[in-house]
């Protein structure tokens, strides 16, 4: 009886994984660290030379008139230059000609550039808190904030930097929560649609994580940060 040829190949060739990729393939660096960082992509600060996640930096671009503009939202066209969200680093970049060095061409830097960064960050934080308030995820006033804290509905405690230390000391930051204490009573008033606000709170979800992120950038830029409230922990 004649044998028939099999349609299956006589041998299969197995592809061996490359030794430098590991089980996660291209998602691993040589050091075994995932490229998908939780804090997002990193950029290098032109003032400190340190690389860090973009959410801790301020982006700048050069306008058609060669002026340097802060890009708080990170959406303006053009090549970005990044500086740590730290007042000393920003002042160094502005006064030491570091923007021109990074751009490799002469640029114009306004004398109040750092102050403008602070103003835009304040506006950003105020707008985000306002959106959370309209979504029902923010309250203001001592009693309402106290109630949210007692019912564990608050993730973020907000207190005005110029509020009474005695009054602020009666409220504590939520466990595993966050504290924001470097906005003024007038600024918080704008966020909550009132004249002034001393105490506020944010629930989890929505834009709360973005509020915390932007508030941290503001903290680094603002001169009179702090206050007498309770920091996280």
- For range 121-149, the mean pLDDT: 97
Contacts (Cβ under 8 Å, ≥6 apart) of 20:
30
Supply the pLDDT for residue 186: 98
Domains for the chain: give ranges and CATH numbers: 42-111 (3.30.1230.10), 115-221 (3.30.1330.30)
Supply the pLDDT for residue 203: 97
With helix as H, strand as E and coil as C, how does the chain read? CCCCCCCCCCCCCCCCCCCCCHHHHHHECCCCCECCCCCCCEEEECCCCCEEEHHHEEEEEECCCCEEEEECCCCCCCCCEEEECCHHHHHHHHHCCHHHHHHCCCCECCCCHHHHHHHHHHHHHHHHHHHHHHCCCEEECHHHHHHHHHCCCCCEEEEECCCCHHHHCCCCCCCCCEEEEEECHHHHHHHHCCCCCCEEEECCCCCHHHHHHHHHHHHHHCCCCCCCCCCCC
Supply the pLDDT for residue 27: 37
pTM of the model: 0.78
- For range 69-78, the mean pLDDT: 94
């Amino acid at each position: 009886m004649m044998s028939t040829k099999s349609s299956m190949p006589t041998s299969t060739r197995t592809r061996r994984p490359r030794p430098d990729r590991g089980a996660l393939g291209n998602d691993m660096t040589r050091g075994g660290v995932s490229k998908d960082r939780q804090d997002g992509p990193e950029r290098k600060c032109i003032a400190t030379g340190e690389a860090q996640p973009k959410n801790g930096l301020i982006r700048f671009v050069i306008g058609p008139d060669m002026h340097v503009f802060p890009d708080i939202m990170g959406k303006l066209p053009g090549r970005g230059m990044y500086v740590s969200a730290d007042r000393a680093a920003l002042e160094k970049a502005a006064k030491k000609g570091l923007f021109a060095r990074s751009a490799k061409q002469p640029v114009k830097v306004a004398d109040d550039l750092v102050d403008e960064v602070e103003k835009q960050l304040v506006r950003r934080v105020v707008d985000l808190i306002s959106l959370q308030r309209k979504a029902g995820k923010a309250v203001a006033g001592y009693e309402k904030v106290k109630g949210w804290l007692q019912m564990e509905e608050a993730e973020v405690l907000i207190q005005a930097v110029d509020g009474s230390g005695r009054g602020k000391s009666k409220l504590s930051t939520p466990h595993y929560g966050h504290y924001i204490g470097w906005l003024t009573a007038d600024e918080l008033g704008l966020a909550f649609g009132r004249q002034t606000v001393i105490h506020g709170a944010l629930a989890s979800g929505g834009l709360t994580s973005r509020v915390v992120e932007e508030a941290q950038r503001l903290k680094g830029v603002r001169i009179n940060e702090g206050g007498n409230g309770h920091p996280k922990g």
